[in-house]
Amino acid sequence: MKRSIIALALLTLVATFALGQTKPNDSVEAQIVALEKSAFEAWKNKDRKFFEEHMSEDGQYLDLNGVGGKAQYVKAIIDNDCKVTSYSLDNTKVTMLRNDVALLTYRYTHDVVCGGNPEASPLWATTVYVKRGGKWLIAFHQEIAAAQAK
């Protein structure tokens, strides 16, 4: 039920902005994907400064526990007992909702252990970037476990 509500909320967000979407140019798409890969590297290296500088002050994330703001997001991904050994992003797609708002969707696999337990992999993820002061910032992020191949 919670997954249905999360999926419906995300679909509503995307549909709301879809009417005004523009086509991304290769440069913007490359910038957004590169930023996301940098975020993964920062997560792996527990680089708090990266997220403090690259997430908008009003940024949010969504996980199984609900919605959190920037401070909770940074704490959750940095102040934990997780070890990230490897990760890989694929199926990246950037959709420009406006000239200053980009929706990135992708699938990723990782080798992560938290508290001695392996984390689910692969996952589908969504990150919304906003451009403020000439800089792309994370405004929203969420992940959901991918269905297992049948």
Cα torsion 128, 67, 109, 14 to 10°: value is: -40
Are the beta carbons of 95 and 116 closer than 8 angstroms? no
Task: Count, in order, helices (H) and strands (E) of the chain.
Answer: 4, 7
* Alpha carbons 60 and 127: distance in angstroms, whole number: 10
**9: confidence class by pLDDT, cuts 50, 70, 90:** very low
Predicted structure pTM score: 0.80
Name which of 10-24, 86-100, 105-119, 132-146 the model is least confident about.
Answer: 10-24
Instruction: Report the pLDDT value the prediction gives residue 26, as an integer from 0 to 100.
Output: 78
Backbone angles phi, psi at 144, to 5 degrees: -145, 140
Task: For residue 24, give both structure tokens.
Answer: 């991304």
